[in-house]
Amino acid sequence: MKILLFGKNGQVGWELVRSLSVLGEVIALSSSSRDFCGNLSYPEGVASTVRKTSPQVIVIASAYTAVDKAESEPALAATLNRDSPAAIAREASRFGSLLVHYSTDYVYDGSGSAPRVETDDPRPLNVYGRTKLQGDNAIQEAGCLWLIFRTSWVHSPRNHNFPKTILRLAKQRESLNVVCDQIGAPTSAELLADATAHAILQTLDDPSKCGLYHLCASGETSWHEYAQFICQTARDLGHTLPTTKIEPVPSSAYPSIAKRPLNSRLDTSKFCRTFGLQLPPWQFGVQRTINELLIHNSF
């Protein structure tokens, strides 16, 4: 089986190179790949990559993910998150390829406290969420075989993410203020990649499994509790951190350029039921990420 992967250097993309490699030949591209265009700024370029490689499975792990910066670069965010996935989906439809794409809790408005289900109306609060939703819709309208996984609070030992930021700050400061009223589930890129490989195999076997799924680790936490857990895990692993206080603050006291949802809870029962998997508690993946970050001192 030939698998075309866009975004091999991202958090999820890096793990997918590993998890997809047991399924077949993986053509893994970054934005600067030379043999084939992997740059989502060029919808026609990435579409031509699909034509040239004619893969059985396409996975898009690259995206415009800079949530605050997207507010001042809406056109670029739309090209990467809407136009290129749409162009890839049209080619997937012509070749009969299965297209796998990742989306986000940020397509929802975060109201209430109930976990969102896949049939809930999306109502994004920011440019990133709007452009990701437009990408989801374009894929669904293209007529290809598709899987879309909406996930939340992704972390890994690579790229920019919350555990890295907290460990870096905890080495520098005695106290930290962390938002306590946004609730979600930190999800490891490793879990997403492994679950994706499993879902691809099952969907190729039974295309009725195509569809939209919420996919994140189980349990829930706030950014504040998450920060405490990160520091405690690092201490348990024998690392000394000068930070002694992690203060809870409301989002209103910590304004960001892009508005973020307060309730990022995602109900994953459809994914678990369809693919016969159980999703581990969020702490499991975070402990592995912290361990890796500390071993390589890469924060």
Ligand X SMILES: NC(=O)c1ccc[n+]([C@@H]2O[C@H](COP(=O)([O-])OP(=O)(O)OC[C@H]3O[C@@H](n4cnc5c(N)ncnc54)[C@H](OP(=O)(O)O)[C@@H]3O)[C@@H](O)[C@H]2O)c1
Tell me the catalytic residues: 128
| CB-nearer residue toward ligand X: 239 or 251 | 251
Q: Which two tokens stand for residue 33?
A: 């790949």
Alpha helices in the chain (DSSP H): 11-20, 43-53, 74-78, 84-95, 127-141, 162-172, 189-205, 223-236, 269-275, 282-296
Q: How far apart are CA 3 and CA 22, in angstroms?
A: 11
Question: Could you say whether residue 264 binds ligand X (CB under 6 A)?
Answer: no
Residue of the chain from 90, 130, 132, 224 that contacts ligand X (CB under 6 A): 132
Question: Could you say whether residue 62 binds ligand X (CB under 6 A)?
Answer: yes
> Which stretch in 38-46, 90-98, 113-121, 232-240 sits in contact with ligand X by CB under 6 A?
38-46
Question: Could you say whether residue 179 binds ligand X (CB under 6 A)?
Answer: no
Side-chain-side CA neighbours of residue 293 (13 Å): 26
Per-residue binder mask for ligand X (CB under 6 A), 97-126, x = binder: -----x-x----------------------
Q: How far apart are CA 98 and CA 268, in angstroms?
A: 22
Q: How far apart are CA 213 and CA 110, in angstroms?
A: 18
| CB-nearer residue toward ligand X: 160 or 235 | 160
Which CA distances in Å does 111 have to 13, 120, 147, 181, 182?
30, 12, 26, 12, 11
Question: Could you say whether residue 39 binds ligand X (CB under 6 A)?
Answer: yes
Which CA distances in Å does 78 have to 119, 135, 138?
24, 8, 12
Per-residue binder mask for ligand X (CB under 6 A), 135-174, x = binder: ----------------xxxx----x---------------
| CB-nearer residue toward ligand X: 127 or 241 | 127
Question: Could you say whether residue 65 binds ligand X (CB under 6 A)?
Answer: yes
Reported residue count of the chain is 299
**By CB under 6 A, what part of segment 201-240 binds ligand X?**
none
Question: Could you say whether residue 63 binds ligand X (CB under 6 A)?
Answer: yes
Residue of the chain from 3, 4, 10, 108 that contacts ligand X (CB under 6 A): 10
Q: How far apart are CA 100 and CA 91, in angstroms?
A: 13
Nearest distance from residue 102's CB to ligand X, in Å?
Answer: 4
**Positions in the binding site for ligand X (CB under 6 A):** 7, 9-13, 30-31, 38-41, 61-63, 65, 80, 102, 104, 132, 151-154, 159, 189
